[in-house]
A and B are shown apart, each in its own frame.
Chain A
Amino acid sequence: MSSSPSESKIQAGEPIIRIQGLNKWYGQFHVLKEIDLEVAKGERIVICGPSGSGKSTLIRCINRLESHQEGSIVVDGIELTEDTKHINDVRREVGMVFQHFNLFPHLTVLENCTLAPIWVRKTAKREAEEVAMRFLERVKIPEQANKYPGQLSGGQQQRVAIARSLCMNPRVMLFDEPTSALDPEMIAEVLDVMVGLADEGMTMLCVTHEMGFARKVADRVIFMDGGEIIEQNAPEEFFNQPKNERTKLFLSQILQH
């Protein structure tokens, strides 16, 4: 099947993402400081922290939507540099879901899902459509396939966005606050899809404040503030015995309501 991913370039047991000594500045502002992070295949990571802590910037560096000035990021054996070809090679294997969905409003739901497989993976149109319908069924909206994004609710749009990423058969999925632009009634339907994805063993990095989701699926929870990773641990320990003062304060503020 031509839509299946190419052979992975990494050996068994090696991390699929390796970030070493990452530093990034926006002009004079030092937004990421000395980040080291390794993600194993199949690992599910939740990243939380106050706004401005650099958590979104960090995951946006992983598919080079943001460029970094120092350190190295290696994704699936490919180092991210200025080289456009390498960047596109990485992006092909890394799916991303955005806070504001970013569906293509001039294309139908089905076309949103088949565009990249057809033009990037060179999948035949028929086959791409079959795959897309399979994923749309999985996110439980196959009946909306021929509608335009503007005709769907926020929750439905975000589920289409997830399906769109999955159609590329990615090795890693990045979620950038996928539920924070949604009405409360729609958050559950999106989280359900994400839990299902986690259960199937997808490597996931989620920036989110849904702590229930973190407890349920995360292998590791990372807390960031001021551009640094302050603390990381398994969810059980992270929530019950945070080691850092700052983490404790953050958790008490978001969990008290």
Chain B
Amino acid sequence: MTMDTFVPKPSRKPPMSTVGPLAWVRANLFNSTTSALTTLLFFYLLWLYIPPFIDWAFLSANWTGTDRSVCEANPAGACWTFINVRLEQILFGLYFGANPDEVWRPIVGFLLFFSLLIPLLIEGMPHKKWIALAMLTVFPVVFYALIHGEWIGQPIANTSQWGGFLLTFVLAFVGILLALPLGILLALGRRSEMPVIRTMCVLYIEFWRGTPLITILFMASVMLPLFFPAGMEFDKVVRAMIGITMFQSAYTAEAIRGGLSAIPKGQYEAAAALGLGYWRRTVFIILPQALKISIPGIVNTFIALFKDTSLVSIIGLLDLLNMAQSAARSIEWKGYDIEGYLFTGLIFWMFCYGMSRYSQVIERKLDTNRRDN
């Protein structure tokens, strides 16, 4: 008697009619009368609105010149001349807008930032740990020295004169830098078995999360000085930083807590059974997994923070948005608000979208469950 041998059938490709662009168009855009009509309607609306916008924003736009006469001569196009002339003010604030000789300071600062940031984004870059460490420790000090000017023997730009994108960046950078570790500790504390620590963390989180940021900033500006002796001046930017960090750390903590509760009990037990103590279990086993799960939530709060920095206008600080607004309300450029809003919107969008994309890249990189890596 002979034995049967199992020979697996070879795998085939899927049939042609179900793949390729034409099949996709048929399946997604024209698979029924309703769907075909909706598709056509949408294309019609796009055709109606997109070409005139492109014409206004690019083809007929005014790019050159130094005053509004150029734009007034050609009102059919956008007045980018305004942005062009007021660029230093919108990006770096009133001080650097008024002192063109000092503009090199913020420019060098941001060049330094991007020269540290870009290697961090490139996969397989060596010494990433050191670059990240420099970004978190050396960079903030150097950046402050450059912008403020006193330590490097340059004319002083007080923090009250910081503004525009510079201020947005400083508030968001410090907020993110401090809110993340604080948020981690708060999230761990909220899950602690020690009642005192747990209660304190719950109170903190619920208090700051339940208060609007605008209220916090307002309180920091108006109420705080009342508690201190007269004449004692508190830096406005520092107050905004503290308020934003407190507020943001509560949100970050909740995003991280979501990740912590998703870690199976078996992970804690396996780590404990190996003799690892609380902090080693947390640092090596629990946090790396919990933070990975929380990335979308954390980045979400960071994007919100980046945009919320505009609220500092309530305490008289002019961030990117408010600086563009005030520039568009000056006598020289009155009436060109739309250009200002579009420009600031574009900058905000670039940074927020960049953060979002980067978080997706990290998520994919950390996904160790794929069989192909």
Closest to B372 in A: A151
- Bound together, the chains give a CA A7 to CA B65 distance in angstroms of 85
Taking CB atoms and an 8 Å cut-off, the chain B residues in 270-301 that contact chain A are 270-277, 280, 284-285, 288-289, 292
Is A106 touching B289 in the complex (CB atoms < 8 A)? yes
Asked if B136 is at the interface of the complex by the 8 Å CB criterion, the answer is: no
CB neighbours of B273 from chain A (8 A): 63, 65, 91, 94-96, 165
**Of B109-117, B340-348, B362-370, the one with at least 4 CB within 8 A of chain A:** B362-370
Q: Chain B 352-372 against A: per-residue CB contact (8 Å), 1 yes, 0 no?
A: 000000000000001011110
**Are A106 and B276 CB-contacts (below 8 A) given A98-B269, A98-B270, A115-B284?**
no
- Bound together, the chains give a CA A120 to CA B341 distance in angstroms of 57
Closest to B291 in A: A106
Q: Chain A 61-99 against B: per-residue CB contact (8 Å), 1 yes, 0 no?
A: 001010000000000000000001000100110111010
Closest to B367 in A: A150
Asked if B51 is at the interface of the complex by the 8 Å CB criterion, the answer is: no
Is B270 touching A106 in the complex (CB atoms < 8 A)? no
Q: Chain A 18-58 against B: per-residue CB contact (8 Å), 1 yes, 0 no?
A: 00000000000000000000000000000000000000000
Residue count of chain B within 8 Å CB distance of chain A: 24
Is B276 touching A150 in the complex (CB atoms < 8 A)? no
Asked if B8 is at the interface of the complex by the 8 Å CB criterion, the answer is: no
Closest to B369 in A: A150
Is B269 touching A116 in the complex (CB atoms < 8 A)? no
**Are A120 and B285 CB-contacts (below 8 A) given A102-B266, A103-B270, A104-B270?**
no
Binding site for B on A (CB under 8 A): 63, 65, 84, 88, 91-92, 94-96, 98, 100, 102-106, 115-116, 119-120, 148-151, 161, 164-165, 168
Closest 6 CB pairs of A and B: A102-B270, A150-B369, A116-B274, A102-B266, A92-B275, A148-B368
CB distance from B263 to the nearest CB of A (A): 10
Asked if B267 is at the interface of the complex by the 8 Å CB criterion, the answer is: yes
Is B277 touching A105 in the complex (CB atoms < 8 A)? no
Question: What are 20 A-B pairs at a CB distance below 8 A?
Answer: A65-B272, A88-B275, A88-B277, A91-B274, A98-B269, A100-B266, A102-B266, A104-B270, A105-B369, A115-B284, A116-B274, A116-B276, A119-B284, A120-B276, A120-B280, A150-B368, A150-B371, A161-B270, A165-B274, A168-B274
Closest to B280 in A: A119
CB neighbours of A102 from chain B (8 A): 264, 266-267, 269-270
**Are A120 and B270 CB-contacts (below 8 A) given A105-B289, A148-B369?**
no
Is B267 touching A104 in the complex (CB atoms < 8 A)? yes
CB neighbours of A116 from chain B (8 A): 274-276
CB distance from A111 to the nearest CB of B (A): 9
- Bound together, the chains give a CA A65 to CA B369 distance in angstroms of 27
- Bound together, the chains give a CA A161 to CA B272 distance in angstroms of 14
